[in-house]
A and B are shown apart, each in its own frame.
Chain A
């Protein structure tokens, strides 16, 4: 149980392109999903918290207009990297927590990540 599917797993595209990454909870509902970014040999840094039916909450230093997040349903959140440039190349990974009582600290279940390479 508790499977999170992330798609695509690998993207290579030209500078200036916008790229959309999908994160789906396959067998549970997730009011809250999280988007992380990981540079090579570094830790995961939380970018934003995606809330179903409302605006995402961005961490300090993350550009809202660059990284658009939409959480339209209880099983799907999308991250769109707009007008991507080489410095946006990274490993992006989403997670989802089962829809139980708020702040229940259920473990986050992670997608397999998306490797984004901007040429």
Chain B
């Protein structure tokens, strides 16, 4: 069985603040993949990143960065210098064959 926990239900920040979204996962498999998706108010899901279980290097893409720590089964996501357009629901997801298991999502609200 696999499980993804996003303990933060909602986060509200003021523009330009940094925000970190936590994701903790459970799986018995040694090979697995972790994802982050963004769901803006319009509803579509936007793929942000995929990381396999053998690659623990942190990644930075513009204002987005991800910290993968296998020792704590965490794959956290940080938005630096947040903007109003970052307001959305962010989902962390886990796949160990081909099915995705999503976390409950974290709603991020960035106030101007």
Determine the main DSSP class of A at the interface with B: strand
Q: Are B95 and A44 in contact (CB under 8 A)?
A: no
Residue of A32, A43, A105 touching B95 (CB-CB under 8 A): A105
Q: How many A-B Cβ pairs are below 8 Å?
A: 51
Chain A interface, number of residues (Cβ within 8 angstroms): 24
Known: A43-B105, A105-B52, A107-B50. A49 touches B45 (CB 8 A): no
Chain B interface, number of residues (Cβ within 8 angstroms): 22
Q: Are A112 and B44 in contact (CB under 8 A)?
A: yes
Residues 49 to 94 of chain B near chain A (Cβ within 8 Å): 50, 52, 91
B99: CB under 8 A from chain A? yes
Q: Shortest beta-carbon distance, A101 to chain B, in Å?
A: 11
Residue of B44, B47, B104, B107 touching A107 (CB-CB under 8 A): B47
B102: CB under 8 A from chain A? yes
Known: A97-B98, A110-B45. A105 touches B105 (CB 8 A): no
Chain A residue numbers with a CB within 8 Å of B35 are 107
Q: Are A44 and B43 in contact (CB under 8 A)?
A: no
